[in-house]
Amino acid sequence: MTYDVEQIRRDFPILERKVRGRPLVYLDNAATTQKPRQVIDALVHYYEHYNANIHRGLHTLAEEATAAYEGARVKAGRFINAAAPEQEIIFTRNTTESLNLVANAWGRKFLEPGDEILFTAMEHHSNLVPWQMIALETGAKVRYIEIDDDGRLIGDDVRAKINERTKVVAITQMSNVLGTINPVREIAELAHRAGAIVVVDGAQSVPHMPVDVRELGCDFLAFSSHKMLGPTGVGVLYGTREALDAMDPFLGGGEMIKRVTYERSTYADLPNKFEAGTPNIADVIAFGAAIDYLEALGMEAVREHEIAITQYAIDRLSAMDGVKVYGPREAADKGGAVTFNYRDIHPHDLSQVLDQYAVAIRAGHHCAQPLMRRLDAVATARASFYLYNRHDEVDALIEGIRASDRIFGNVVRAGA
């Protein structure tokens, strides 16, 4: 099957939208992606036809809703090649909540004073702040792996910092700022040899490339539905049965118990032990439709499309006078996020000019303040691509940047 971007675009109603009279050019996919008709329809269909609470009811609607909800769990598990999708997939609200769940439920039980939690210099705040919080509580210490000037982890620093005190290695598989793809499998091997668990932030990798948890050898993997065509409000925490069984529940309440007396309770088996209360049934079911959509396209094909468009963007941006591109230059080594700065125009100003041209990018620190400091940048602009983006949208980005030069460039340089 050939990859037909025009046909794909027809599935996304929002891509017909105009902003300020021009066709929308949506290049903020690392923040959240747009939704195809199939996902929107699955959501509406649920509310129109079988809205009911799950697990508890024995009526037809409850059975249908339960089957669809549990079906989405199996889809999510198969998507990342989990060994036991029925038990190893926990639904949360987002990647952030998934990572907080591990930090709290695993960290509080197993971390002791002097233990080390190791993350990387390129983590999103959500794989950094929860570990700092749990370190304060348990007396464990946080450390991080340094990156080189191209935005890649320094191998010697990986080997130097994983030691017998390391209990957790928390690492992003793909940086939301630099696009760097990290060698998770190799790091997981080192970590396991040292007796640490491996927690992978897959918020950017799972939507954009084939990810196989058994090949990676990780203990946990977190990702978000909304970054992979699905609704907001659904996150996944994958954990091996062994790792999840070892943890105590994080939230107590309905659905997560076996037996309750006034004095004490016993907990439900996986995955219910970690899904207290009524979950986000409708959005989880629609997330299942998003996974179907991605699988029909094939993640290899999605990745190939993104490599092509990302390389085109890097090449065009790098050819512009005054553009500084951060991170690896070879698209084959990175995801579809291209971070840059243009002359001394503040990324917020640049983003506003681009919006005049209906080009949506992100500007700021991208929830990675320590990384910004490492890059010696106050903020950056970021264009991030997905499966529906076209090369001519990169051209629109370049044209918008040129326009910003006309608007700000002279003023800024005159004042400098």
Q: Would you tell me which residues interact with ligand 7TS (CB under 6 A)?
A: 30-31, 94-96, 124, 126-127, 172, 176, 201, 203-204, 224, 362, 366-367
Q: Looking at the DSSP assignment, which residues form a beta bridge with residue 71? A: none
* Tokens 């091997």 -> residue: 189
DSSP strand pairing (235-239 vs 89-92): antiparallel
Nearer Cβ to ligand 7TS (30/331): 30
Q: Report the distance separating Cα 162 and Cα 168, nearest Å.
A: 9
Q: Which of 367, 372, 379, 401 is catalytic?
A: 367
The neighbour count for residue 304, using CB atoms within 10 Å, is 13
* Tokens 């006309």 -> residue: 406
Nearer Cβ to ligand 7TS (265/352): 352
Cα distances from 206 to residues 49, 79, 168, 226, 313, in angstroms, run 31, 9, 21, 11, 22
The neighbour count for residue 309, using CB atoms within 10 Å, is 22
* Tokens 């699955």 -> residue: 42
Q: Report the distance separating Cα 55 and Cα 67, nearest Å.
A: 9
Q: Answer yes or no: are the C-beta atoms of 66 and 54 closer than 8 Å.
A: yes
Cα 285-72-44 angle, rounded to 5 deg: 15
Report the run of H or E that residue 76 belongs to, with start and end: helix 60-79
Closest CA to 161 of 202, 190, 197, 204: 190
Q: Report the distance separating Cα 7 and Cα 107, nearest Å.
A: 46
Q: Answer yes or no: are the C-beta atoms of 335 and 209 closer than 8 Å.
A: yes
Q: Report the distance separating Cα 162 and Cα 176, nearest Å.
A: 24
367 is catalytic: yes
Q: Answer yes or no: are the C-beta atoms of 101 and 274 closer than 8 Å.
A: yes
Cα distances from 204 to residues 77, 177, 317, 339, in angstroms, run 17, 10, 22, 14
Closest CA to 181 of 190, 173, 189: 173
List active site positions.
367
